Structure 1
Amino acid sequence: MSERTAAPTETDAPTRADDEPTQTEVTSGSTAVVRALENAGVETAFGVQGGAIMPIYDALYHSDIRHVTMAHEQGASHAADAYGVVKGEPGVCLATSGPGATNLVTGIADANMDSDAMLALTGQVPSDMVGSDAFQETDTTGVTAPITKHNYFASSSDTVGDVVGEAFALAGEGRPGPTLVDLPKDISLGETDREPGAARAPATCIPKTEPDTHEVEAAARAIERAEKPLLLFGGGVVKGNAAEEARAFATEHQIPVVTTMPGIGTMPEDHELCLSWAGMHGTGYANMAITHTDCLIAIGTRFDDRLTGGIDTFAPEAEVVHIDIDPAEISKNIHADYPVIGDAGRAIEAIDTEMDNSPDAREWCEQCLTWKDEYPMDYAAPDDEPLKPQFVVEALDEATPDETIVTTGVGQHQMWAAQYWTFREPRRWVSSHGLGTMGYGVPAAIGARFAADDDETVVCVDGDASFLMTIQELSVAVRENLDITIVVLNNEYIGMVRQWQDAFFEGRHMAAGYDWCPQFDKLAEAFGARGWAVDSYEEVPDAIEEALAYDGPSVIDFHVDPAENVYPMVSSGGANGKFALSEDQL
């Protein structure tokens, strides 16, 4: 990975030893902002320059914080989001006022839906011009209030550093989420020598982490008496760094595990207790287990509709133990018979300590294994039909190390990647879940690459429609010489739209397909990356091997079967146990 390309020259940079970290001298609001980021340990930020944010960038010039200039502000927000997912700390993005700030909105909303920690810093017109419809003015705090954990309008050069530090800390506190600080240009330029303190979240926002003793006791008794217990690991297990505790609980008590899509990797998918992920396109055996469990132990999930299908038919036979750090999620969608509010890891350990006996679930475990045999994740790949996308995903998984980081866009390719890649660790699966943002994959791969260790592999599995939405970020990957491999499952459709049109709109393909599609391998070469186009099974291994071996950004354009669909599938609002394995079952 290359270092920052816009470093100060020897004549104007401060003199220091290479390994000596520097702290920005506070002389203005903008330098206080940068000092606050340094105090918080920020190493990398993603953004796009502009007039109102320019003072902050000027202060970054002499900082050790590496800035990655993205091609579009949306790309900056997705890169910061993914950086935070992989790194386990808030990612940082910057944009100027007006269109710069509004271009961040999709990424902020995405992070909000997925509870991803992120700090956005936006420029704003001078304070005395706010409300005058000045050039590139937008009510950024008003626009982003519904999609941030909290946002701030900076009002003083003396306090802006502490505000930024607080916003950073709040983003990662408790249930993570995005925060934003709007920075009027006069506040950034204003003089101050007040140094910001350490990044701290407000005392009023510190969550309850220790579970209530009575809640723990009640949950433990419910689990002990269960005959068909089932663990459901959600994204909160990842955010709470509780995968180790969750796995230990499952294996100690021999309880089968399903995950949500954001929870993929919390339990190794090749473990005998793991039934993979549940929901609309989850495995048949995971959905059968949810349908027939008598005690669902859900950890860190908001029970969204893509998981539950119809609320009335979700886990209909189960008592529900729901562990979550956010009390607002308890009984919001699915009634919790045994709520446990607190940190995921601490709650799991407390329940484990309280339990005297494991539930007798031997017959239940056998039943879950039987469902695995009855509803395998397989697909047909006749030689006389076009290349199957599932085959490509499996070939890529086999060719890469176990702990490869996989980012995706949104659509059919996302589902195939989740279904046919075997994940064994958390923070290896980086995707857009709640908002379902097409175009997330490429900028997310850039953010993940900067967060990952140098010896870790980063792969983006994208679709042709998603790739076209943020393809300009390929220029960033080339400029920064980032070792990422982008695999495009190209069916010349917005594939999931086409699948739904076939299933529910009598095959009327309105605005779902392309009469013409770019040659992505050639386009990659034009950007300065390496490109391959693959049409047959025989070409797949060599193309993957060459792309992974290339030390830089590469793109493989796999021309896959345009008629292939994603199954299993639970129809929207349907019952999880009535999943379809083909279109005629919908």
Structure 2
Amino acid sequence: MTDQGAVPDFDGAEPPTDGPTDRDAATRETDPHTSDDSETDDSAEPAKTTSARSGAEAVVASLETAGVDTVFGVQGGAIMPVYDALYDAEEISHVTMAHEQGAAHAADAYGAVTGDPGICMATSGPGATNLVTGIADADMDSEPVVALTGQAPSDLVGNDAFQETDTVGVTTPITKSNTFASSADEVGEDVSTAFALAASGRQGPTLVDLPKDVTTDETDIGPTEPSVPDTVSVPDRADEGAVEAAGATIADAERPVILAGGGVVKGNASDELRAFAKEHDIPVATTMPGIGAFPEDHDLALEMAGMHGTGYANMAVTTTDCLLGVGTRFDDRLTGGVDSFAPDATVVHVDIDRAEISKNVEADHPLVGDAGTVLDQLAAAMDSSPDTDEWVAQCADWTAEYPMDYAVPAAETDEGAPDASSFPDDQPVKPQFVVEAVDAATDDDTVVTTGVGQHQMWACQYWTYTEPRTWVSSHGLGAMGYGLPSAIGARVAADDDQSVVCFDGDGSFLMTCQELVVAARENLDITVFVLNNEAIGMVRQWQDAFFDGRRMASEYPWVPKFDTLAEAFGADGFRIESYEDAPDVIEAALETDGPAVVDVYIDPTEDVYPMVPSGGDNGQFALSEDHL
């Protein structure tokens, strides 16, 4: 159903919302770079008849058939039948979160690390509405998530029943598809379809709303393999003629740049991107969601472009004559003012979602298709490479001219790690130093999660990312509080031998710190570094720069001792107050077998630079507040 009353009579002019929405129908299908579990199977067997089971058991059976191994959620009245069915699911673990927002963020991070849909569950009313921030975040960042929400019994829907909310109505704008389950016979297929849609094409969140009577009624219909509806179609390969024209443009370019977006990571196209860039000697910048798509220690790496991107990435993007954008939305935090973004460039735009082509930046060569497939097509179409020797040298000059450094430069040991002993111990600790020191102390495949704010930008700028799916953050929505619950989801998803580190700010950490109890209860090996400047630092930075220093509601007159707070939740607590503390504390926290929180007292005057003012010209980035 589209609403929570009677089924409307559709005449073809308005599609129902229990399938793909308008923006999905022409653009979303199975992505060949996703796992086999999520691919469309035209030969999928019809639903099998089995012995009678409840609708709730049908839901769980569909999750099992889809290969789900973890569900993040919070119990409640309307969802209780599904939880009861989950009791007997031997292959599915449940992680009980402290808050439903945490469940959605954990599921989001699980999807970001694995590429498979993360599952979150909540009850009706406040349980469902508490998921909304996490669902919206997954929608903005194209993360595969399936949300299962309890609902009041069907005959009470529309009567303001206890804990009733129009969950489908609330979440329609922020999901790829959502379904109001109408019967026990259909609910299993509803869940299977939601799983397939979340994983396919341009990934994103889906939702199934589960009235209590639907989950308690009986059915003899068995589960089916997840598959997308026949009405959903996305081109895999771009038009060959368009590819040839784009390839010729790239080959003739003098100053080409590849801009790798989050779609490269989501589409598992990092290998194709790296091969293409290296074969044709083309510098690579990334968007923030695209971090890890190209190794940042490579000579062709320009790192992140945009508002807080590197000076050399922004100079290259501003002066390029051919921009190959792959899997990017060209959002405002990347482009600044659209009129000044890559003004001299012929734009080749590769995206699996047709709706993104020319939405923000006009594409001269639109290539609609799967990122990896289209990059392979371009590689095959190009008989020659552009002559980029002078251009690569120019990019190297910009890298030297605009280095990523900070006021007190770190001395380097033979291993390249920052040497704490070289810093004056009477000066407050620089946050950039902490990021670099933790990076040096961990392996290249460490998964980094963050909240949102200044700490997020420092984690972007001063950690060297070499692998995809090792950077997990809230990009489009910018949801403070994302860091800790996403670290929990990442820890569950990551390989056992991978480390998981979270950089958070004091303001962001305070929003979801209750999830520490989950990490302690489950003995999850995560290490949280709270970069504590006793403020909502990014807001304060903007107030200083653009509001005449009027710091309204951005500074905290008092914050908890986060190391002590961690111990109250059952985690290990540590504190860094000086450079002298840093090496031993970082080592001890990382070696903790279980959750650890490090309260890092950072320089409260430190701000994030480079910076492009909102709507500004990326080529006119500021290196300090005086430049704004």
Q: Under TM normalisation by the shorter chain, which class is it?
A: over 0.9
Q: Does 1:131 align with 2:155?
A: no
* Structure-2-length-normalised TM-score: 0.89
- State the alpha-carbon separation in 1 of the partners of residues 122 and 587 from structure 2: 38
Corresponding position of 1:518: 560
Residue in 2 aligned with 1:3? Answer: none
Question: Offset of 1:26 from its aligned partner?
Answer: 5.7
SS at 2:185 equivalent: coil
Q: Are 2:80 and 1:38 aligned?
A: no
* Correspondence for 1:501 among 543, 563, 572: 543
Aligned to 1:215: 242
Percent identical residues? 69
- Specify the code of the residue in structure 1 equivalent to 2:225: A
* Paired residues for 1:60-459 under 5 Å: 60-64=86-90, 65-381=92-408, 383=424, 384-459=426-501
Q: Is the 8 A contact 1:26 1:195 kept in 2?
A: no
CA RMSD of aligned residues (A): 0.9
Residues 306 and 612 of structure 2 are in contact (CA less than 8 Å); yes or no, is this contact kept in structure 1?
yes
* Cα pair 1:83 1:451 within 8 Å, conserved: yes
AA aligned opposite 1:210: R
Are 2:601 and 1:575 equivalent residues in the alignment? no
Given candidates 50, 54, 72, the residue that maps to 2:80 is 54
How far did 1:385 drift?
2.8
Q: 2: CA distance between counterparts of 1:71 and 1:326?
A: 35
Aligned length: 563
The answer for the alignment partner of 2:419 in structure 1 is none
In 1: Cα distance, 2:115 partner to 2:142 partner: 12
| Structure 2 residue 489 is the aligned partner of structure 1 residue 462 | no
Distance 1:426 1:25, change over 3 A: farther
CA 1:261–1:26 in structure 2 vs 1: closer, same or farther (change >3 Å)? farther
Q: In structure 2, what is the equivalent of residue 481 of structure 1? A: 523
SS in 2 for 1:470: helix
Q: 1:25 Cα deviation (Å)?
A: 7.3
Tell me how far apart the structure 2 counterparts of residues 528 and 154 of structure 1 sit (CA, whole Å): 40
Could you tell me how far apart the structure 1 residues matched to 2:344 and 2:150 are?
53
What is residue 9 of structure 2 aligned with on the other side?
Answer: none
Contact conserved, 2:427 with 2:578, CA < 8 A, in 1?
no
* Structure 2 CA distance for aligned equivalents of residues 456 and 156 of structure 1: 43
Letter in 2 for 1:58: D
- Determine if contact 1:119/1:168 at 8 Å carries over to the other structure: yes
Q: Residue 204 of structure 1 aligns to a residue in which SS?
A: coil
Report Cα offsets for 1:271-292 as digits up to 9, x if no partner.
Answer: 0000001000000000000000
AA aligned to 1:543 is V
Which whole-Å deviations, capped at 9, do the CAs of 1:322-375 have from their partners, x for residues lacking one? Answer: 000000000000000000000000100001101010001110000000000000
Q: Can you list the C-alpha shifts for 1:138-159, whole angstroms capped at 9, x where unaligned?
A: 0000000000001000001001
* Structure 1: runs of 5+ lacking an equivalent: 1-23
Aligned to 2:607: 565
SS in 2 for 1:203: coil
Q: Do the aligned partners of 1:445 and 1:484 also contact (CA within 8 Å) in 2?
A: yes
Note the residue ranges of structure 2 that are not aligned, 5 or more in a row. 1-49, 409-422
Q: Distance in 1 between matches of 2:100 and 2:214?
A: 22
**What's the secondary structure of 2:231's corresponding residue?**
helix
Letter of the 2:400 counterpart: D
- TM-score normalised by structure 1 residue count: 0.95
2: CA distance, partners of 1:214 / 1:28: 53
Kindly state the Cα deviation for residue 201 of structure 1 after the two structures are TM-superposed. 1.0
Q: How far does the alpha carbon of each residue in 1:192-227 deviate from its partner, in whole angstroms, 9 at most, with x for none?
A: 111021111112223111111111011101101100
Distance 1:102 1:220, change over 3 A: same
Distance, in Å, in 1 between the alignment partners of 2:573 and 2:433 is 20
SS in 1 for 2:184: coil
1:26·1:35 contact (CA, 8 Å) conserved in 2? no
Distance (whole Å) between structure 1 residues aligned to residue 526 and residue 232 of structure 2: 38
Give runs of aligned pairs for residues 3-18 of structure 1, distance below 5 A: none
SS of residue matched to 1:584: helix
> Helix, strand or coil for the counterpart of 1:537?
coil
Match of 1:528 in 2: 570
Output the CA distance in 1 between the equivalents of 2:458 and 2:132.
Answer: 28
Offset from partner CA, 1:60-111 (integer Å, 9 cap, x none): 0000210000000000000000001001101000000000000000000000
Cα offsets for 1:523-579 (capped at 9, x unmatched): 011111110111100100100100011100000000001110000000000000000
Per the alignment, in what secondary structure is the counterpart of residue 27 of structure 1? strand
Offset from partner CA, 1:206-252 (integer Å, 9 cap, x none): 31111111110111011011000000000000010000000000000
Moved over 4 A (4+): none
Q: Structure 2 residue aligned with 1:552, among 585, 594, 616?
A: 594
What's the secondary structure of 2:581's corresponding residue?
Answer: helix
Secondary structure of the structure 1 residue equivalent to 2:599: strand
Partners in 1 of 2:242 and 2:54 — Cα distance?
Answer: 50
Paired amino acid for 2:173: P
SS in 2 for 1:493: coil
Contact 1:408 1:440 in 2 (8 A): yes
